[in-house]
Amino acid sequence: MGKKVSKIGVLTSGGDSPGMNAAIRAVVRTGLYYGLEMYGIMRGYQGMIEDDICKMESRSVANIIQRGGTILKTARCKEFFEYEGRKKAYDNLILRGIDGLVIIGGDGSFRGAVKFSEEFDIPCIGLAGTIDKDISGTDFTIGFDTAVNTAVEAIDKVRDTMDAHDRIFIIEVMGRDAGYIALHSGIATGAENILIPERKTNMDDVIASLLEKERRKKLVNLIVVAEGDDFGGANKVQSVLKEKLPNAEIRVCILGHIQRGGAPSSLDRLTASRMGYHAIECLLQGRYNVFVGIMNNKMHYMPLGDAVKNKGKISDEWLRIVKILAS
C-alpha cells in the first residue's frame, strides 16, 4: 500500500500508438470524477524536466477519443537517463504538488518510471501504449489492434497486384524486437511465410517452400517480415531470393510508419479507456508501481518492474498454425 495521492500527472512516452488519446481521456476524466487535480505532461519525461506541464479539465480531453497520435506529444529523453535529469523532473513535480504519475508507453518508458519511483518515492502506474505488443502481463497493448488492421488492409491491397502479375511479394511490417504484428497480419492475410525476431530465419527452408509451390504452379506467394527479423529485413530477403529464384518476379513493400497512425480501432479505444480508468483506481487504492493489463478479459495487475523484465512470448502453437495454413 502506498501513500494517498491528490494530484496526478499523465504522460505519453516513447513511440506513439493509436489509442493513447483514449487512455489520456480516461485517466483525466476518472481522476476528475474522484475530485483529483489532473495535469498533462507534454513530450513525456522531457516535459517533466522542462516543466512543460498544464492543468487538465474535462474539456481538455473532449473530442480526442477517435484521434490517433497523442495530444500530449511524446519524445525519447536521454537526459532522463541521468540522475540529474530525473532530479530536475522531480523538483518540477514537487513545485506543483504532483504526487502520482500515469505513464502510457512501452518498456523503455517503464524502466524510467521504475528508476524514478525508487529514487523519489513517486507512485507510478504503467499502461502499455505500444503497437508491438511486446510486454508481458496483458493480452493487448494500446495500439496493437489498429496497427495490425492497418497492415492487413495494406497487404490485402498488395495481394490484388500480386494476383494480377503472379509475383512474390515481401511485406515488411514494424516490429524491431517483437514479431506480433507480422504474425497476426501474416495469418490474417494468408501469408506463405512469416519471419519474426523470436525465431531464427532459415532461408533454405523459405526457398524450399517457394520451389515446392512453384512446382505446384503456385506463383503468387506472400512473405511477411518483421523489421527486426534476424536475417536483415525485407530487402535482404529479396536479394537472396533473387539469386536463388532467378525466374521469379519479386517485389518489396515496406509499410513503415503508417502502422502507427490513423484512428484507433474500437478495440483499442475500449482497451485504452478501461486501462485508463483502472490506473486511477489503482492510485486511489494505494497501489504502488503497478502495471495495468487485461488478461482473459479481466484486469490484471503486476509490479511495474516485472513488466519491464518479462517480454511477451510467441507460442509454438502460433507458428504451427502458420505452417499448416500456408501449405
Q: What is the pLDDT of residue 3?
A: 66
Bridging pattern class, strands 298-303 and 290-295: antiparallel
- Residue-wise DSSP of 201-253: --HHHHHHHHHHHHHTT---EEEEEETT-TT--HHHHHHHHHHH-TTS-EEEE
CATH 3.40.50.450 residue ranges in the chain?
Answer: 7-143+264-309
- Known catalytic residue at 132: yes
d(CA 74, CA 278): 22
Residues 56-107 pLDDT 10s: 999 999 999 999 999 999 988 889 999 999 999 999 999 999 999 999 998 8
Dihedral Cα 240, 241, 242, 247, nearest 10 deg:
160
Instruction: Work out the angle between the directed axes of helices 180-188 and 316-325 (0-180°, nearest 10).
Output: 30
pLDDT in tens, 242-260: 888 888 888 999 999 999 9
Q: Which pLDDT tens digit goes with each residue over 189-233?
A: 999 889 998 888 888 888 888 887 777 766 678 999 999 988 888
Whether pLDDT at 1 is above 50: no
Determine the Cα–Cα distance for residues 39 and 165; give it in Å rounded to an integer: 55
How much is the mean pLDDT over the chain? 90
- Positions of CATH 3.40.50.460 in the chain: 145-260
pTM for this one?
0.92
Average pLDDT value for residue range 155-168: 83
Q: Three cell numbers at 175? A: 516490429
Q: Output the pLDDT for position 230.
A: 85
pLDDT at 146: 97
Residue 266 has pLDDT above 60, yes or no: yes
Distance CA 294, CA 292 (A): 7
Which is the catalytic residue, given 99, 107, 132, 229? 132
Reference 256, options 145, 176, 158, 159; nearest CA is: 176
- pLDDT tens-digit series, residues 20-60: 999 999 999 999 999 999 999 999 999 999 999 999 999 99
pLDDT, tens digit (0-9, with 9 covering 90-100), for 105-140: 988 899 999 999 999 989 999 999 999 998 888 999
Instruction: Give the CATH fold of the 7-143+264-309 domain.
Output: Rossmann fold (3.40.50)
- From the CB of residue 298, how many other CB atoms can be counted at a distance below 10 Å? 8
Measured distance between the N- and C-terminal CA atoms of the chain, rounded to whole angstroms: 53
Domain 145-260: assigned CATH number: 3.40.50.460
Torsion of Cα atoms, 19 then 53 then 102 then 257, to 10°: 30
